[in-house]
């Protein structure tokens, strides 16, 4: 019996150790399946004070830095041999944004995420991975 092959894989990255493992798994799976790979990162609002959140320049600069950072992931995946790689930078609560917005926009058939986030309140008070595994309308692979 052959395992299911996926056509489009969405992987969440946040620079945590688990997310790095998820990214490596997703790259390998995309290359082996001939699937496209979409790399997503989410800018969380909790790490901004009210003045930063109200500053368009600050928010735009933060978004620009995230775009540059995620482009490095894209470059690694392309150098690894994944043929079709794209990126998404979203804003808000990572689990909710990925489940409610990114999956609907991207239409992947697999979501690969790390078991534990790098930082944030969710690291201590619940799991983004558990939320996504419970509510995502597609298969979810949680890597640790």
Q: Is residue 1 part of a domain?
A: no
Assigned domain for 2 exists: no
Residues of the chain with pLDDT > 90: what percent?
60
pLDDT of residue 124: 38
Strands of 139-143's sheet in order across: 85-91, 36-43, 8-12, 110-114, 139-143
In a domain, 18, yes or no: yes
**Could you tell me if residue 60 is inside a domain?**
yes
Query: What is the domain extent for residue 26?
Result: 8-143
Task: Say if 33 falls within a structural domain.
Answer: yes
Give dist(CA 19, CA 112) in Å, integer: 9
Interval 95-140: pLDDT, tens: 999 999 999 999 999 999 998 766 554 443 347 899 999 999 999 9
CATH number where 68 lies: 3.40.50.620
pLDDT for the residue 117: 67
pLDDT at 144: 86
Q: What is the mean pLDDT of residues 72-87?
A: 97
Greater pLDDT, 98 or 45: 98
The three-class DSSP label of residue 122 is: helix
Point out the least confidently predicted range of 7-11, 28-32, 41-45: 41-45
Q: How far apart are CA 144 and CA 18, in angstroms?
A: 5
Q: Crossing angle for the helix pair 56-80 and 17-33, nearest 10 degrees?
A: 50
Domain assignment present for 130:
yes
CA distance 73 to 109: 20
Checking if the pLDDT of 50 tops 80, the result is no
Does a structural domain hold residue 26?
yes
Into how many domains does the chain fold? 1
Mean pLDDT value across the chain: 85
Instruction: Name the nearest CA neighbour of 45 among 35, 55, 33.
Output: 55
């Amino acid at each position: 019996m052959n395992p299911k092959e996926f056509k489009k894989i969405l992987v969440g990255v946040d620079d945590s150790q688990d997310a790095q493992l998820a990214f490596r798994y997703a790259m390998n799976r995309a290359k082996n399946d001939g699937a496209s790979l979409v790399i997503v990162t989410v800018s969380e609002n909790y790490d901004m004070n009210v003045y930063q959140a109200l500053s368009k320049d600050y928010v735009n600069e933060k978004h620009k830095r995230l775009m540059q950072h995620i482009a490095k992931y894209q470059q690694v995946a392309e150098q690894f041999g994944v043929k079709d790689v794209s990126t998404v930078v979203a804003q808000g609560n990572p689990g909710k944004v990925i489940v409610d917005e990114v999956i609907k926009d991207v239409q992947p058939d697999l979501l690969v995420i790390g078991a534990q986030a790098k930082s944030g309140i969710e690291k201590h008070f619940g799991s983004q991975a558990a939320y996504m595994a419970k509510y995502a309308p597609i298969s979810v692979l949680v890597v640790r």
